Amino acid sequence: MVLAQDLAFPFSLAYGKYLECQECSIVDRNNDRMRHGFKCPSCDYVGDGGALLYFHVNILIILDLIQESFHASKSENIEGRFYEGEGPNDISVVIFYCTLREALLDNLIVRLLRANNLSDGVKERLLEDNRYHIQKQNRLFKSLTNIKWNDAIFKLNEESKTDYKQVDGLTLEVVKARNNFIHEGSKWAIDRDLSTNCINNVPRLISLYVKLHNSYVHPFYLKTL
C-alpha cells in the first residue's frame, strides 16, 4: 500500500485533480474530459475540451501545505524558543487538515445552494444564519439534501468499499485535538502519529466530499437535462 506521506507528486496533483462535467456536474478523475469530443458517460454531453477543475485553488493550496508541513525538516534546533519537542510541524499538519475539512464543506454547500436554484438573497441569508462549520454540516446540509449528515455518511458506507464513517470519526478526533491546542493551549494530543493519520486520510477525506457531491448535487442537474 502506498502511503500518502511517501507520495512523490504534489498533493494538489495527486488528490486534487478532479474534473466536473459542464452539463450534469458529475465529478470524477477521468482525464479524457479534457479531450475535445469526449462524451460524458453520465449525460452524453460532448465536451469541447474545456473540462472544469472541480476544486478551487484554495483547496489545492491547502493540500500542498499539508504535504509540505509534514515533510518539513524536524532536525533544526531553533535556539531561544520557549518550548521543547518536535511538535510544530505536526501541529501545522493538523491545523491545515482541519482547514481542508472546512474548505471542502464550504465548497459542497455552495454547490448545493446553486443546485437548488435559490435566489442570491436566500443564499446569502442561509450562509449568514449558518456561519459555523457545525451549523453547515448538521443544519444547512440537511435543509439542502433532506438527509442528516450522519445518515448520508452511513448511506455512502453501504454503497462503497471505503469506510467513510471511519474517515469522519478520525476527522472529528483531529478537530478535537486542534481545538484543545488552540483554545486550551494543550499540544500533547498532537504528535507524529496523529499528523501521519491526517496525511494518510487526505485522499479518503477528498473522496468523501466528492461522493457527497455526486450523491446530492449531480442529481439536481441530471434531472433537468
Helix, strand, or coil here: 35? coil
Q: pLDDT tens-digit profile of 79-115? A: 555 455 556 889 999 999 999 999 999 999 999 999 9
Residue type, 224: T
Phi, psi angle pair for 52, to nearest 5°: -90, 130
Contacts of 61 (CB under 8 A, 6+ apart): 12
Query: Structure pTM?
Result: 0.91
CA distance 133 to 168: 14
| Angle, helix 149-159 to helix 164-184, in steps of 10 degrees | 140
Q: Is the pLDDT of residue 51 over 60?
A: yes
Helix, strand, or coil here: 18? coil
